[in-house]
Amino acid sequence: CIFLLISAWGRAAAATYLVGFLLLVICFALAIIAFAIDTLRFNFIRGIGGLLFVAAVFSIMGLVIYPVKFSTEIEMTGINMFSWAYGFGWTTAIMEICLGFFFCCLPNYEDQILGNVKPTYFYSSP
């Protein structure tokens, strides 16, 4: 059993993924505040989206450093697989990217969300 935080790459992978996670928690708190207060609703939603992209970059950096250095520096014997946490990390990174696009595009539909647009009826005459 080898403790990975002894090496510099282990600390780097853990630190970058931790920074991405902290940014994700900050985005979650900002989103709750933004949607709870009407005057802030669409003022900094794009900023939250940009911060989610930054969080995704940090998460992906950590998720790339870990397997590359793990497989080159640690002797692989028998069946070596990454745990379910590695797949969970990639799922988190993909969700951060998708939510970043969602939050960046959301202000474009502000009038439709708030109900300020007249409904459009599509019909044909007989």
Name every residue whose Cβ is closer than 8 Å to that of residue 111 and which is 6 or more positions away in sequence.
117
Q: How many CB atoms lie within 10 A of CB 62?
A: 21
56-65, 74-83, 85-94: range with lowest mean pLDDT: 74-83
Query: Which runs of E-coded beta strand occur in the chain?
Result: none
- Pair of tokens at residue 53: 């992209």
Name every residue whose Cβ is closer than 8 Å to that of residue 68 and which is 6 or more positions away in sequence.
none
Name every residue whose Cβ is closer than 8 Å to that of residue 10 and which is 6 or more positions away in sequence.
4, 66, 69
What global pTM score does this model have? Answer: 0.80
Read off the pLDDT of residues 90-114 as tens digits, 9 standing for 90 and up: 999 999 999 999 988 887 777 776 6
Q: What is the per-residue pLDDT for 18?
A: 92
Q: What is the per-residue pLDDT for 39?
A: 74
Read off the pLDDT of residues 7-50 as tens digits, 9 standing for 90 and up: 888 888 889 999 999 999 999 999 898 888 877 777 788 889 99
Q: Is pLDDT of 126 > 70?
A: no
SS3 69: helix
**Cα–Cα–Cα angle for 79, 83, 87, nearest 5°?**
125
